[in-house]
């Protein structure tokens, strides 16, 4: 064997074995001179047998630490083994190649005894670059996971706090008589299983009331599942509510649980319940009566235990009279009605609401707005707020973005304070004129669509034919 060279008297006779192993092997005599080098060692270091044989080789492959600082032979574990005959195992050092580069190495230095006499040392080593690289990648991945986990934990704390704020009764700002009575009602009914129907204009806080009802009930540790009935077509809504089996309809690529199932033991909040089609209303009625249903495309009956809360900005009784809402369903939902008053009927709540909204806005926008000026509050209190609290939120957000100081002046308010005296002094108009104005406004809002769910007739709660004849009578036509 040409590669294994020098004095091998203390090694196994079978040199083939030494040549075959993947580990590098150096043999040292008692003077610390290399007596053999196997091919794997040559390959790993680039140092050839003729370069090292008979030499004190620490200075070739082990002269410096990984950071480049000098590594003296008297500190080298291999040479220490030569002195004290004690075996060592090292995995935090590097070996230097002939070309000046280095690689992380794991090695053992093992004393060789003959007849009880120390006669040399064998160093067996392997390149652990891959292992170090993997360890480093794992460390980095772990650090990333830890950072993400910390971020998620803090986000979770924030969301929990926000949720608690949103959902405890403290989340309802306002101390007007109307709000006080509403909170009283919430507290009374929250911990029962009774169905609650929340009515009120858009943006008054119906969803907030629903959250409060859930949070103050025994079901609070279970989910509050919301469905906006206006957001789905009637076919989609059915599968959204009741779930579907795989293949139940085109696009149903897998089995899916509906919101009723997801809300099991919790609360199901049906927002904009008036938007349910008559067909969906009958199905809902059955679930309420029997607390059971089938997934779309399945005959298996599923039983659920849910508390139902519904909300609508329509006067549901009117919808019943118009034949748009089932009367039996109306009575099933209207077990405990809660009316959320419009903001214009409780303008005295505005300062408290504004403070509450500002603290959220400061967090959201990274601002430090402390309060609203007296003048600003006066402006806010002089407006009728057709969009209710949501409109107040939007107005304050715009104002906060534009504001530079710590006190919100409300200089940019696009709203025009309605001056009650001005309204009183305005010249009176006839009923027909008022009707014409209102119908025109509604038609403009609906892009002059008369019928259909988004048409003016629906908004005006009139049959489309009635609206057409009124338009004819009042001479209302779309201006070119």
Provide the binding-site residues for ligand ATP, judged by CB under 6 A: 172-174, 200, 202-208, 271, 313, 353, 356, 389-390, 393
**H/E segment holding residue 241:** helix 234-242
**Given the complex with ligand ATP, which of 240 and 261 has the nearer CB atom?**
240
> Cβ-count burial of 174 within 10 angstroms (0-12 exposed, 13-18 middle, 19+ buried)?
buried
Using CA atoms, how far residue 102 sits from 98, 109, 269, 347, in Å, is 9, 19, 66, 77
CB of 356 to ligand ATP, least distance (A): 5
> Cβ-count burial of 118 within 10 angstroms (0-12 exposed, 13-18 middle, 19+ buried)?
middle
Those residues whose C-beta lies under 8 Å from the C-beta of residue 396, and which sit 6 or more positions away, are: 354, 357, 358, 361, 408
Residue with tokens 């910390």: 150
Are the CB atoms for 358 and 369 separated by under 8 Å?
yes
**Given the complex with ligand ATP, which of 306 and 396 has the nearer CB atom?**
396
CB of 381 to ligand ATP, least distance (A): 16
The span from the first CA to the last CA of the chain, in angstroms, equals 103
CB of 361 to ligand ATP, least distance (A): 11
**Given the complex with ligand ATP, which of 307 and 313 has the nearer CB atom?**
313
Residue nearest to ligand ATP (CB): 205
**Given the complex with ligand ATP, which of 313 and 326 has the nearer CB atom?**
313
**Given the complex with ligand ATP, which of 174 and 455 has the nearer CB atom?**
174
**Given the complex with ligand ATP, which of 173 and 333 has the nearer CB atom?**
173
Using CA atoms, how far residue 271 sits from 229, 284, 393, in Å, is 6, 13, 20
- Cα(368)–Cα(350) distance, integer angstroms: 20
> Cβ-count burial of 479 within 10 angstroms (0-12 exposed, 13-18 middle, 19+ buried)?
exposed
CB of 392 to ligand ATP, least distance (A): 8
CB of 208 to ligand ATP, least distance (A): 4
Six token digits for residue 120: 């040399």
**Given the complex with ligand ATP, which of 296 and 340 has the nearer CB atom?**
340
Q: How far is CA 287 from the centre of its chain?
A: 31
CB of 211 to ligand ATP, least distance (A): 8
CB of 437 to ligand ATP, least distance (A): 25
């Amino acid at each position: 064997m040409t590669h294994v060279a020098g004095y091998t008297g203390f090694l196994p006779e079978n040199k083939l074995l030494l040549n075959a192993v993947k580990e590098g092997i150096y043999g040292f005599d008692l003077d610390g001179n290399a007596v053999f080098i196997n091919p794997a060692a040559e390959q790993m270091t680039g140092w050839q047998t003729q370069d090292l044989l008979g030499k004190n080789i620490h200075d070739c492959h082990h002269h410096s630490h990984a950071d480049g600082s000098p590594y003296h032979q008297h500190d080298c574990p291999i040479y220490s083994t030569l002195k004290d005959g004690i075996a060592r195992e090292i995995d935090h050092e590097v070996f230097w190649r002939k070309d000046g580069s280095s690689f992380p190495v794991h090695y053992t230095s093992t004393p060789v005894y003959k007849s009880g006499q120390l006669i040399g040392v064998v160093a067996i080593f392997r390149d652990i670059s891959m292992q170090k690289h993997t360890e480093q990648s794992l460390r980095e991945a772990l650090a990333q996971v830890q950072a993400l986990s910390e971020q998620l934990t803090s986000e979770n704390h924030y969301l929990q706090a926000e949720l608690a704020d949103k959902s405890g009764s403290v989340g309802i700002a306002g101390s007007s008589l109307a709000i006080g009575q509403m909170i009283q009602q919430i507290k009374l009914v929250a911990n029962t299983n009774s169905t609650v129907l929340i009515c009120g204009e858009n943006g008054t806080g119906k969803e907030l009331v629903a959250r409060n009802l859930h949070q103050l009930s025994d079901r609070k540790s279970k989910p509050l599942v919301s469905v906006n009935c206006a957001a789905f077509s009637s076919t989609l809504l059915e599968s959204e509510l009741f779930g579907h089996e795989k293949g139940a309809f085109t696009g149903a690529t897998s089995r899916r649980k509906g919101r009723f199932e997801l809300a099991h033991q919790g609360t199901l909040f049906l927002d904009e319940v008036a938007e349910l089609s008559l067909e969906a209303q009958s199905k809902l009625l059955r679930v309420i009566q029997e607390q059971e249903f089938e997934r779309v495309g399945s005959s298996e009956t599923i039983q659920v235990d849910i508390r139902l809360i519904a909300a609508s900005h329509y006067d549901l009784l009117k919808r019943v009279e118009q034949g748009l809402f089932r009367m039996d369903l109306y009575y099933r939902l209207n077990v405990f009605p809660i009316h959320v008053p419009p903001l214009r009927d409780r303008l005295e709540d505005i300062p408290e609401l504004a403070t509450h909204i500002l603290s959220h806005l400061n967090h959201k926008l990274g601002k430090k707005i402390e309060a609203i000026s007296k003048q600003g509050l006066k402006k806010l209190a002089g407006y009728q707020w057709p969009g209710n609290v949501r409109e107040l939120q939007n107005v304050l957000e715009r104002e906060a973005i534009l504001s530079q100081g710590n006190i919100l002046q409300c200089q940019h308010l696009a709203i025009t304070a309605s001056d009650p005296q001005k309204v009183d002094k305005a010249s009176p108009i006839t009923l027909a004129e008022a009707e014409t104005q209102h119908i025109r406004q509604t038609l403009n809002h609906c892009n002059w669509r008369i019928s259909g769910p988004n048409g003016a007739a629906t908004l005006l709660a009139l049959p489309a034919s009635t609206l057409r004849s009124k338009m004819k009578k009042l001479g209302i036509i779309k201006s070119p």
